[in-house]
Structure 1
């Protein structure tokens, strides 16, 4: 498997507004806080839901810190996708950059 530094990445402040943001964290992490326009697809469901991921346009994959999402990016690259990048530093970097977040549980959004 590819390492985190061997997949294409993008910084939190460089994610294009029109990018498809794919959040691969677990349900509880998603509920605590996520980007407003992100799509939730836990990492273990990606192979079965591959057809839901766009094959054109920018796809940016995110997890808590960038490790799981790097594995998903490596998987997608191996599956022939060339439009995917890892969100370097994950949702932790997203929050530090002051990017917008919402929660599903009514509380203040946070990175869990």
Structure 2
């Protein structure tokens, strides 16, 4: 795996942590989850910039980030946080992943 993809994996991991922390920030009124959200999102964009500097194309890298982040946050939400998800929403997640695969395989 190239360094660019390691940076992208770090981007995704930080963004997922930030998204989950934002749920607990209570509208950015709770200091600790708010700080975690801000630090991880800024860190995610920093690593994303490094991934782009290493040669990943902006469109494909952003699509991969978004799709993997959507799947990860959805799974965490459903299985760990007891969020509900409908069949239509599952189909939307599947179509998002399919679109990213098309971008990746089309190049």
**TM-score over 0.5 (shorter chain):** no
Identify the structure with bigger relative contact order (alpha carbons < 8 Å, sequence gap 6+). Answer: 1
More helix by share: 2
More strand by share: 1
TM-score by length of 1: 0.28
